[in-house]
Amino acid sequence: MRRPIVAGNWKMNLAVQEGRDLAEKIKASCGNWNAVEVVLCPVYTSLSAVGQILADSSISLGAQNLFWEPSGAYTGEVSPLMLRDVGCRYVIIGHSERRTYFGETDETVKRKFQSALKHGLKPIVCIGETLKEREANQTFAVLERQLAGAFTDASAADADKLVIAYEPVWAIGTGKTATPDQAQEAHAFIRKWLVGKWSAETAAKIRLQYGGSVTADNAATLMGQTDVDGALVGGASLKADAFTAIVRAALEAKTVAA
Ligand code: PGA
């Protein structure tokens, strides 16, 4: 049984004190719900402050990005060792906003993924098609290319640390969510690819999150799908009540299914 994982991607929002306040509220509501893994991913400048709040809870700290080198002359970048230093356990890699606005490619995603693993961070690798690609029936081809790009050199031993977030680009921040069937179809495709890459046993361990306009209202049906093991939440993760409701939906969907 895969432990569901719900991550809040705060993106470029919330100053330090606002981040502290939100983390306190989320800790108070679901800081000891061990059946679901909860991860909060604030901006770099709030990692330390939020990490201190989460330290005595079951909630993990995650970053939204990293650079693959451990240190050196890379102005403006942050290394995996530095993320570990402030208490991060997770890191989001290859989010579509990074691919679209900051020129990240399958190659940079691969390097970041490998570096995260090498330095003891669990990667949440994001993949997903644009609307144009979906309409051109390219969804599976795009997912396949992104999976192959990220995981060419990955070994089965890395699999249990890996989380993959399926985030259709057309659903991110748009209020347009994939239907539960669309999400399940894509997740099943990803799972099958992982079986081919490694084995059925290994693929069964890897957690697949859905991301893209997840809300308190649609979380339960999305999470009710066999291959949807959690959610990567943007907008709704900025409100303690909405985020807590999503975590609860994951808990209930997966507990009932068990
Ligand atoms: P959203 O963002 O929930 O605001 O659509 C999801 C994400 O980008 O991870």
For residue 6, the CA-to-ligand 1 centroid distance in Å is 12
- Would you state the structure tokens that stand for residue 104, as one six-digit string? 């990240």
Specify the pLDDT at position 198.
95
The number of the ligand 1 atom at minimal distance from the alpha carbon of 165 is 9
- Is 167's C-beta closer than 6 angstroms to any atom of ligand 1? yes
Specify the pLDDT at position 256.
58
> Could you tell me which residues are beta bridge partners of residue 90?
62, 122
Q: What is the mean pLDDT of each run of 10 residues along the chain (258 residues)?
A: 95 98 97 93 98 96 98 98 98 98 97 97 98 96 97 88 96 93 98 96 96 96 96 98 97 74
d(CA 109, CA 94): 5
- Is 213's C-beta closer than 6 angstroms to any atom of ligand 1? yes
- Would you state the structure tokens that stand for residue 252, as one six-digit string? 């209930």
d(CA 200, CA 205): 9
d(CA 211, CA 208): 10
For residue 45, the CA-to-ligand 1 centroid distance in Å is 20
Specify the pLDDT at position 32.
87
Specify the pLDDT at position 255.
75
Assess contact for 47 and 61: CB atoms under 8 A.
Answer: yes
DSSP, residue by residue, 25-61: HHHHHHTT-TTSEEEEE--GGGHHHHHHHHTTSSPEE
User: Which residues have a Cβ under 8 Å from the Cβ of 201 and sit 6 or more positions away?
Assistant: none
Residue 95 a catalytic site member: yes
Specify the pLDDT at position 90.
98
Residue 119 a catalytic site member: no
Closest CA to 2 of 220, 233, 225: 225
Interior angle at CA 39, CA 249 and CA 155, nearest 5: 105
Give me the catalytic one of 95, 129, 133, 187: 95
Query: Which residue reads 């308190």 in tokens?
Result: 216
For residue 73, the CA-to-ligand 1 centroid distance in Å is 32
Query: Which residue reads 């790009």 in tokens?
Result: 149
- Is 214's C-beta closer than 6 angstroms to any atom of ligand 1? yes
For residue 102, the CA-to-ligand 1 centroid distance in Å is 17
DSSP-derived letter for residue 213 is: S
Give me the catalytic one of 97, 133, 167, 187: 167
For residue 111, the CA-to-ligand 1 centroid distance in Å is 23
d(CA 170, CA 239): 22
The number of the ligand 1 atom at minimal distance from the alpha carbon of 11 is 8
Specify the pLDDT at position 140.
98
Out of 232, 237, 238, mutate this one to test ligand 1's pocket (max ligand atoms within 8 Å of CB): namely 232
Q: Which residue spans within 102-258 are E strands per DSSP?
A: 122-127, 163-166, 207-211, 230-233
Per-residue burial over 120-152, b = 16 or more CB atoms within 10 Å of its CB, e = otherwise = ebbbbbbbbbbeebbeeeebbebbbebbebbbe
d(CA 258, CA 246): 18
Specify the pLDDT at position 230.
97
Out of 102, 131, 172, 246, mutate this one to test ligand 1's pocket (max ligand atoms within 8 Å of CB): namely 172
Closest CA to 38 of 223, 250, 203: 250
- Is 70's C-beta closer than 6 angstroms to any atom of ligand 1? no
Question: Which domains are seen in the chain, by residue range?
Answer: 5-257 (3.20.20.70)
d(CA 81, CA 119): 6
The number of the ligand 1 atom at minimal distance from the alpha carbon of 235 is 4
- Is 62's C-beta closer than 6 angstroms to any atom of ligand 1? no
